[in-house]
Amino acid sequence: MKKIGYTNDSYPERRTIINGNLHPLKKVKSLNTYYPHTALKRIPFIGRNAVVYFKDIVFNDEGVDGLHLFNTVTNKKISWISTFETYIPRTSATSFLDHNNLTKKSIKEKNRTEKYVEILAKDYCKKVISLSKNNYEMELRFLGFFPQYKDTIKKKMIQINPPQEKLMEKSEVELKVVNPILKFLFVGKDFTRKGGKEILDVFSKIKEERHFDFELTIVSLGKSYNYAFGKYQDTEEEIQEMKNKLRNTDWINFYESLDNKKLLEMMKNSDVGLLPTWADTYGYSVLEFQASGCPVITTNVRALPEINNGTIGWMIQLPLDNSGEVDVSSITKKQTLRAHLQNSLEKIVLEILENPQQIKEKSIQSYDAVSKNHSVKGYMEKLSEIYSENF
């Protein structure tokens, strides 16, 4: 059986490469250029214009038949594949993607990026695996800027849904009882980006005006930066107000972190998961909620419509660009989008509180959907086939 090398064991790699893999694995010595590039960006003045590229410099591939990378490319002369979640090659140099912004800077960035695109077209790169249909289509549009390589790389591209282990048996989900006092749960370290402020504002309003009895639990580091906002971040006053409300509201159960076992138990015992996110590459927490028999409220950004809908959960419809992302191009646009997100979330939460009987059916259907579409066994068998054919 082929022995597979990998370069990192962070959360995405554990989910998509390591956990449950049918082949023997070995972590190889490497350096991802992301880290020195990011360190350079932190140096005042010198690093201001530094560009970040994801590329694995593999120092030692001894004892492996091929490499399975995540979000990166490599010049190592060994067969390799890469799973990616947005674009590949991944880079911060994307100004050239704006057709109306062909400046000297964007032309320079495009030329630099082309060197990494060329690596994908080489024979050593065997497969390029997208996690979603959304990022598969994003990659094709990205490759449109490099027509000399597009067809070669497209032949290597394949889309495979990421795996999700069952966290409950079907019989347990069927026996799961909706709590008399509904339990809502939010999980995500990037609090603002994933809709944490909107959750606080909406649930506070419902508590004050409608007097429904419910339980809200938030597990988050409370990070306030939201990359979807670009240069229109929340003000320091808004951030401080949000943090005070998060930490000092007696009816909110707030945890900065929990060990994974306790968190998964909390998911199993919750009625509704919350992810009214502004931006997400996939939404792994949605799969975990669903595998716990807990339907989720999400937005429709990026890949979320592929894993959630109004039948198996609840979905907030935001206006999106052709990549499935929100366009926050001004403070006014941000305020309009925030009001829409909050109003939509409030409407859904009130509907759930007034008609909690709908939760049971969505619980079963969301569990069935994640079991069918994200089978660990099926995913790993597809990877094994790719390894065997290409390494």
Choose among 160, 90, 98, 152: nearest CA to 125.
Answer: 152
Distances (CA, A) of 142 to 34, 88, 199, 364: 20, 9, 34, 38
Q: Is the pLDDT of residue 100 over 80?
A: no
Residue 366: CB atoms within 10 Å: 28
Q: Of the segments 100-114, 230-244, 351-365, which one has the largest average pLDDT value?
A: 351-365
Tokens of 380: 């790993």
Residues 6+ apart with CB under 8 A from 238: 197
How far apart are alpha carbons 161 and 378 in whole angstroms?
10
Mean pLDDT in residue range 86-113: 81
Distances (CA, A) of 290 to 83, 348, 375: 23, 18, 13
Contact criterion met (CB below 8 Å) for 81 and 66: yes
Instruction: Give the per-residue pLDDT at 316.
Output: 98
How far apart are alpha carbons 296 and 316 in whole angstroms?
11
Q: Is the pLDDT of residue 16 over 60?
A: yes
111 three-state secondary structure: helix
Using the structure block, give the residue that is written with the tokens 């938030």. 218
Distances (CA, A) of 199 to 53, 210, 220, 248, 350: 34, 16, 13, 15, 13
Instruction: Give the per-residue pLDDT at 141.
Output: 94
Least confident of 92-101, 207-216, 250-259, 281-290: 92-101
Choose among 187, 173, 227, 186: nearest CA to 11.
Answer: 187
| Cα of 233 vs its chain's centroid, Å | 20
DSSP of 35-88: HHHHHHHTSTTTTTT---B-EEEEEE-TT-SEEEEES-EE--SS-EEEEESS-S
Instruction: Give the per-residue pLDDT at 111.
Output: 87
Paired strand residues for 129: 83, 158
Confidence of residue 285 (pLDDT cuts 50, 70, 90): very high
pLDDT in tens, 184-199: 999 999 999 999 999 9
pTM of the model: 0.92
Instruction: Give the per-residue pLDDT at 80.
Output: 97
Instruction: Give the per-residue pLDDT at 142.
Output: 94
Which is higher by pLDDT, 49 or 217? 217
How far apart are alpha carbons 141 and 150 in whole angstroms?
9
Instruction: Give the per-residue pLDDT at 41.
Output: 56
Average pLDDT, the chain: 92
Q: Is the pLDDT of residue 131 over 90?
A: yes
Instruction: Give the per-residue pLDDT at 105.
Output: 79
217 backbone dihedrals φ, ψ, rounded to 5°: -120, 135
Question: 314-342 burial, b if ≥16 CB within 10 A, otherwise e?
Answer: bbbebeeeebbbbebeeeeebeebbeebb
Choose among 214, 94, 126: nearest CA to 391.
Answer: 126
Mean pLDDT in residue range 148-169: 97
For the chain, percent helix, then strand, then coil, each to nearest 5? 45, 15, 40
| Strand duo 157-159 + 80-84: pairing | unpaired
